[in-house]
Structure 1
């Protein structure tokens, strides 16, 4: 836990704040206490986001969801302010390790402990479902072990049973390996989805391994949908009980009441929370939290076992993650917090590093939910760790400026005239000079997502899900039309705006009038992003296709060799007369004119469908996995042979951006630049 900073409040409602548990792109979580000394974790939206009605409504929904659930198995909401000022939610502070921390520190749970855990969590889920809610993100990080038993936390994406799944660009809607198959596929979910997650949690507690694993997020999700759980390390007696929870068909999963009966923990099994090494761990955290509530307002005294306490105290609070979806746990992540800035020795001396070597970084400065970096006029742009938009020098990595009022999840684009455009939480578009951050113009156009731009206009989606074209010279709307889809993303050419959704529906509009030219449902699959080039749009999916922009008809088509609908062709990059795209695990180089294969290179890992290959001057880069490290690999554009690799030694998903002969990598909070050679 960190001390309060200059911009942090000293009090929120009845709570005196004692320190910062964690921070993300959308909010902070503070440790505080009321006048009676009762500890609380207070989650607060950042000031610049407090006027974003979408975020405030999500915040309100989280408070209402958590308040609606009664019983001992959840972290209870103590107070909340969701109207006026800075929205905040105060929840019961739980001084205990999360389940993943407990397994890591104290080893696997015994059969009796797993049975007790199953019965307790099943009862909590029964209470959650009884009020018409589905948690949707049950995982070891969202289960805190206290002296009174396990507690389920984080209702950040809890929804009514009729609610739809929340997704954003590039975001997996569930935690890989714990979300049910129907969640992975974006289908409507019911209470049985939480039962699947419970089965995966129990398998982890009993074996220390995920029931579904893989080298890449997409590989894990494929196993959840099509594969079988790995329960080989789960004791035989538990295997037959956990297996039914992981049934593919929700109808075949047991109810919470059936789980409590089947697992039937022996008498006294609940004492695991009160005796032994785990109980000692919990007690030390409780003592530390109690001592902090007696301090005048800042962390100035060390409680017993201070190091363990300060690194573990955050386990009772979650912080909002930028861009939607789930709340993110901060201090339990070994990649959280600031690290010393690193720069390549060659870059310091002005020399160009060898191919595949760092030019600068890794710098722990990025928002984990930032869109891929944008390079414009020698500057690299991405969502900042402390919120808003941040711009660094592309060559040296030095920070140039930031715009804290900008919402990165609305996307940011480069206009043909060299300006950078982004939107704030109120829907106003801002245009900046990339090198200095000087604001050149604004336009209040109710923008919630910036889709694309061409020489004449900026195309965006409004809050009421309409598509609007903004004249970038007059800053006046050119036209506004109803979107053919309820949501989606866009790519623009001179005369065509191509819209596409996460489910693969594609439509083309005339950029001059907004008139719909054609529409094809299910043209792409699994969030593959179309690439507009000349008179065609290149689309991935079951086949890699070139589709005519004027009529939407196939020009050429290359079927996927994988035989797997969800893991066929991903997003394509067009470079000159060549198309680069990944089919299943294989990176292809193909002729733009007819789709003929020039070469293929096996990356040996499933691609992320909405991430196109990054094309540099002489190489094309993809993502590979070594062990659990997501790394970049470069392939010679002419020969299809491996040129170099850059190991990140990090287990988080990787986003690549190319500019001439430089590669930029965003991975969690880490930003790095690599020389292309």
Structure 2
């Protein structure tokens, strides 16, 4: 949102205008508030266009189209004035990020969220089509994610089902890559065009990548009409659901009702929009709007905010509501009190700079030859550094000179250092915005991930190991060997609990938290799950121990926790019930154990002995199998599966397999007899090779 400028009206109908939400070629959209305190998005035709009869009719038609749809999945029309003067439409102001903003801030959606999104939008499309309309511009920017679920906005080019295209020669009919082939060709458009747009939208939501892309608009539109959608990066089950929506022939696309039934979101899917990092984003925006529309002054209507106060806040904060999340509240507080934002004023996560995916067909690399690193090797890692942690635009690790360090994922350049951190005590990301760690005195400390700016700390943590974090708290092991929960909103101790097993300072247990459960794996290989609300034990699994000192590392996905060790097992996180168990595939079962799990879509991967296996996460049936030697960690990036060949003295190194053919594509050599680990993010593989850090490309 931006402040009002010269020439902007101060009021339209009952709405006092407080700021500018956006503008385009035809008009502007203002943030308004009526005398009852109700907020609205007020769209108005530009004054120089108000006398253009064709544009005025189009604007009137938009109001009529929007008013014709009574679905709860669209923004309600609150009022309109379409005769004389400057036509305007007031619609319900939806508080929340658009879908593209959410993907930028939080990354691609997981399976349950994609299913909930698909079902909700499909039901809304059914309502729109029942009203005799076709939306014609369904895209990520026109989906607002609210605490009540996804809402469809902008009926600017919606038309009755029998209507032809609105465009004239030279105009782009819809957003490239989301409009159906028949729209690109200027043919008659019906409800199936919205289904095509929904398919492209879901592909983006599930992967963060567009189904159709190109170097310029014409190339994208050509791909829509003649090319195939890029769906190889989607899990197989989602690919099978989304691909029919993108059929070239409108008659072959499913109906919205069929889509809603096929995606079948899990029970309680409506809670997705109220819990988790995305829900936190929505709630922060709701608080921001409340602060911007409420005055704390001693005189006047308490529901009204002074224009000077709002304009000051907007001018200082920039795009505070539409893109800045909670930043408006911080700037507002700073301007009013003269104080800098406090330690709990957390900036939103920065955008992830994705690397280009290489293609052998385009000559980017030669199959069988070692790839050229994106950067490195750099001798920057401490001997006891845990695995490198990529967080958006930085990769974090234990620094060779001591403490914690972060380097740019793009070029490896040093970004920041926290010298007083005990990196061996582990670290984690908090919603991709903060890095949480333990300092040398046992305090839990946090830093802005991109800049290293210190934020809140909790000396009361008295921590020796950082176990895990969820949306509410960070969980640590104390110096006395107990579990402790530290609230993320106030840095206070929520609870402290003692559990069986060695949690001493040298034990460095591993943990994971989600779904109200903290799962802890001890050095001896015992697994204990406790309630995150009070630390009480929910279930345990004794002797899930790993061989050769390989730790049990819990991995949670949805309602399932995957545990490695002498066996590889999936357990229901709520009560520990076994869903499946995999024994060794290697002849040396008494020596080799399964390494930590990596979940990609519906498949979970792990390495054991001479193999990397991918199993169906629900039933444990085999979905993928590759041969390597002595790998511990497994990474999925691009169209490839990555492991480390630790034992083959002739060809040892980082091994990359084509995910579809299961054939080895290349090996990057590593130092012998060094500690090796790999992790991946944003189309990059980060390699720990002893004290060296390396970034490799993916294909």
Provide the TM-score with structure 1 as the length reference: 0.46
Provide the TM-score with structure 2 as the length reference: 0.45
Pair member with larger Rg: 2
